[in-house]
Amino acid sequence: MTQFVHFLLISLILINESKGQCTLEVASMRIRRPIYDFTVNLATRLAQEKENHFVSSTLSQWTLISELSLGATDETLDEIQRVLKTHKHRCFNENYWKIIKSILDTNDVTVARSSMIVIPKEFELKNGFTKNIINTGLCEIFPQDFEDSVTSANAVNDNVSLVTQGVIDDLLTPNDFNSYNIIIIDALYFKGTWTKTFATTNTDTASFYDEVGNRVGEVNLMYVNDKFNVTTIDQINAKVLQLPYGSNNQYSMLLFLPNVGTRLSSTIYSLSKISLATVFKKFEMDGPRTVTVEIPRFKITSDLDNLKELLTDMGLKSLFDTGASFEELSDQILYVSDFIQKASIEVTEEGTEAAAVTEAGLRWRTLDEEFIANRPFLFMIVNSYSQLPLFVGAYSKPSVY
């Protein structure tokens, strides 16, 4: 009898939360795990495909697909909800999009983004779907004449180039419009100024090693010695360092450096055992400490043209199938033909001259804890307040940048 009453009590709590607690505060707690799990699942596949050297914004991919759920029905909708772990109640999903939009609207770092659903101009989208997509403020519906492939490709590329300040261009070719029903595009660029800058006078060319200790090339290794959050997380066999950006520490880069003898692929796979809350809790428990940090100066641009296959492997099969159900989107029969992303990240010493001068000369005068990323590592750019990952990537192919 006691067990039966306990079960009823739990049911009442769940029902009340689902129907009566759809607030931004509750949604901000709920959204963390779905996006983190999606990030880890896709990053695991990207790392394998790209040999541990890539950059991607899994947050934007999650957002675009979740917005497509506004037009999906039946199996297509079920798969989106299952893989993305979106909420059954639309109120929560609308709050999710508000949260995402709020963390992308920032002046503290540069987050240049162009997201669009490109459709043939003859497609008749339902008014409700169009209105809902526009209301999210996160994606643009971009009708084009697919038969005039040159003009359409130029229009899309010009839009992307404008938003990303010329960093990303020539995203599509005329051939991409030959037989597509829908093209979903997400182009983005991130660049932030370190809160605690690296002095250019301390950057030296150094060796870079693979996972078993073999020298595989050289990098420009940047150096700083200051107080940072750094911790070791046993579940993933890695040390994690937080490098904040900007003046308010809203964004930061988390670097995951596997322990000696641990492969990067193992660390990435093990990320499913923890969450970003785990990392930040460990930072809080350990507290900031003086750390000697050495990381490569690098730039990575990734053309992710196999997302369709990777997302299908994750369970989004109906989305890309000719039998996809988008009855709330259009009366016409359509499906997602492809899903591509081009992302770029640049990591340099950039900061104020005064700060650079202040830090000069400290390199050989410390015996503090070290974080030397001269072997393959994973990085995430996260919103530290919401604990959401915006970008994820890995570095394993050295070059002197």
Q: Which domains does the chain have, with CATH numbers?
A: 28-105+110-191+300-345 (3.30.497.10), 200-297+349-395 (2.30.39.10)
Q: What is the mean pLDDT of residues 105-109?
A: 74
Q: What is the mean pLDDT of residues 226-255?
A: 94
What does the alpha-carbon distance between residue 274 and residue 102 come to, in Å, rounded to a whole number? 25
- Return the structure tokens found at 366: 């410390």
Q: What is the mean pLDDT of residues 290-300?
A: 94
Does the pTM exceed 0.85?
Answer: yes
- Chain length of the chain: 401
pLDDT exceeds 60 at position 91: yes
Categorize the per-residue pLDDT at 368 as very low, low, confident or very high, splitting at 50, 70 and 90.
low
C-alpha to C-alpha distances, 395 to 74, 130, 377, nearest whole angstrom: 40, 39, 6
SS3 374: coil
C-alpha to C-alpha distances, 181 to 62, 119, 303, 317, nearest whole angstrom: 20, 7, 21, 16
Categorize the per-residue pLDDT at 8 as very low, low, confident or very high, splitting at 50, 70 and 90.
very low
pLDDT exceeds 90 at position 369: no
Contact residues for 388 (Cβ-Cβ < 8 A; gap 6+):
31, 32, 35, 36, 59, 99, 100, 103, 276, 382
- Return the structure tokens found at 210: 């693979």
| pLDDT of amino acid 3 | 32
